[in-house]
Amino acid sequence: MSQADRIPVRMIMQEKIVTISAGESLSTVEDIMRLGQVRHMPVVSSGRLVGVVSERDLLRSSLSSLSSHRSDERKAFLYAVEIGRVMSQPPIVIAPDATVRQAAQVMAENKIGCLPVVEGEELIGLVTETDVLSWVAEAEERPRPEPAASDRTRSATPA
């Protein structure tokens, strides 16, 4: 069993996350993403997680609606459109005790870059593909766990 099968998502998730309301405009989320250097934001309505908006969602909505428009028209569009119209919903979530491997599998299968971490109905964190990749990259630097006593003892066989 690898470490990815034993380490829970709660060990690598981001706990300090910024959420945004479904009624906010695309320009607001674009500004927050640019200034905060984030690519994914959980979307809430009445304190409940209802979706996720990503840079990809913003780009897709801008390109499909404004492929031949000027910069000022793009800005007007971003101010006029609510996040709820372009966010990914319902959100695909993961439990904090799910393993890193499970999180990686869910993201790969769904072709998504993040998973809100939910305990019960409460959003407690966010795990991104970058979090998983960073964890994998650092795995070489982490000490390996000691093998179980049964793994260390080998029966002697005559040669």
Residue 29's φ and ψ, nearest 5 degrees, are -65, -35
CA distances from 80 to 23, 57, 60, 62 (A): 11, 16, 16, 12
The tens place of each residue's pLDDT in the chain, 159 residues long, gives 677 788 999 999 999 998 999 888 888 888 888 888 889 999 998 888 999 998 888 777 665 544 455 566 656 666 667 888 888 999 999 999 999 999 999 999 999 999 999 998 899 999 999 999 999 888 766 565 555 554 444 444 444
Answer whether CATH 3.40.640.10 is correct for domain 3-141: no
For the chain, what are the domain ranges? 3-141
Q: Are 125 and 114 in contact (CB under 8 A)?
A: no
Indicate the pTM of the whole model: 0.77
At 15, list the tokens.
Answer: 């706990």
